[in-house]
Amino acid sequence: MMTKRNKIIYWIATVWLSLGMLSTGIVQLIRVKEEVEAMLHLGYPPYFLTILGVWKVLGVITVLVPGFALLKEWAYAGFFFTMSGAVYSHLATGNPISEIFPPLLLLVLTIVSWYFRPIERRLIPLTGK
């Protein structure tokens, strides 16, 4: 049984994670000029924005919709890889902490949301029965 405290932690982290991923995904999909410039500065091609934007939006839908436990695990893994890669990319190019903080925050929110997710949103391992 999930405690009230854990449920509150889960929903706060998940709502903020979803807002962050959805807003950055949309910005990437509509190719805001500053986002294109940032992507080029990091050494990635502009078309990478479309890939990231589509997967972020789909990941948010997957995390929020009930059911689909396996897809949720993939969405969380995708968020983790994307945000840890973004943090490293900003560090590798010498960007200031102000540019490293947003993906770092989304990385932490991903971990917190995943860790505190309710049992019905978890992948139940096969027991051989």
Report pLDDT digits (tens) over 34-77.
999 999 999 999 999 999 999 999 999 999 999 999 999 999 99
Q: Which two tokens stand for residue 72?
A: 């949720």
What's the CA dihedral at 51, 56, 57, 60 to 10 degrees? 160
- pTM recorded for the entire structure: 0.93
- Residue 128's pLDDT is 53
Burial class (CB in 10 A: 0-12, 13-18, 19+), 86: buried
Report pLDDT digits (tens) over 88-103.
999 999 999 999 999 9
Distances (CA, A) of 12 to 17, 80, 98: 8, 18, 23
- Residue 124's pLDDT is 80
Q: Is 70 exceeded by the pLDDT of residue 127?
A: no
Question: Residue 83, CB half-sphere, CA atoms under 13 Å: how many?
Answer: 24
Q: What is the domain partition of the chain in residue ranges?
A: 4-121
